[in-house]
Copies of this chain bind each other. A is one copy, B any other.
């Protein structure tokens, strides 16, 4: 007495056509250009669609149009607000182009990156967005084989084979050093995240090296987190000769240092000046507000979205694009002579 042998099967175009007593072409027209369908036919079909709870198959559409309408972005982490802000802008602008965004995190591991890139391509991504110019051979293979439109962000390099849309990391770091130099600081601690698998950080450090600075530059590597910053604050406070300024290549870490210093009652900027790089929203409300090099990540998200959408539709890669970083001077820095009170 079973009456439900296979009730689960989803209705398809043919089913709807049969139910409405029309051809598949008509149903397809109701879906795509209802204007050309006569009114009562239209209604008949729409009723059938509603009755059968018909939902067109995305895959079948995609197979004809050759479009899946989504792209993938590979970022090291979502835990750093700088990427979250980039992705927010990217997603917003992509949806103007009728594109959805798949986010995949790589944990700054090139193998994970290649693997996730592969799975993005496998499920049909029409384009890829990646962070930095350094990638595994497997990744480059994949991009070359599939000719997948791929844009590199957070990095500007007009020479790179894949188009880059981003800022000049070396220049951004130099902006910070310039500022400290102008203020007369001579003994500067440079605090940065892991350089392994992070070409942005390496480029920034290289930029600092290239800058004509005659004072002392000491580097400290730590985790990119508030905790990582707090750890460095602790380390710095135990030093025999303390630096008179800190140049921090990440605001998250800078904020952590700031908190660490507060806990130890080291006064910023009176005892020590601090510059960050990123200019997170939080940096403007920290105590003291943090002087920081602003990275235009929201703008970057928008430019990347436009460029990738254009690449996909017009089959033409975009020109590399440099977005300018600039320093925002707040109250975490002051000139060296006054700090030796």
Contacts and interface: CB of A to CB of B under 8 A. Distances in A.
Interface of A: 8, 53, 55, 57-63, 66, 68-70, 72, 77-79, 81, 84-85, 87-88, 91-92, 95, 98, 100-105, 116, 119-124, 145-147, 225-227, 229-230, 255-256, 259-260, 262-263, 281-282, 284-287, 315
B70 A102 contact: yes
Contacts of A68: 58-59, 123-124
Number of copies: 2
The interface residues of chain A, by DSSP majority, are classed as helix
A88 B123 CA distance: 20
Contacts of A59: 59-63, 66, 68, 124
A63 B101 CA distance: 21
Given A123-B69, A147-B53, A95 B116 contact: yes
Name which of A95, A124, A256 has the most chain B CB atoms within 10 A of its CB: A124
Complex A-B, nearest 4 residue pairs according to Cβ-Cβ distance, in ascending order: A58-B124, A59-B62, A262-B287, A59-B63
Given A63-B57, A95-B116, A102 B105 contact: no
A151 to B, nearest CB: 18
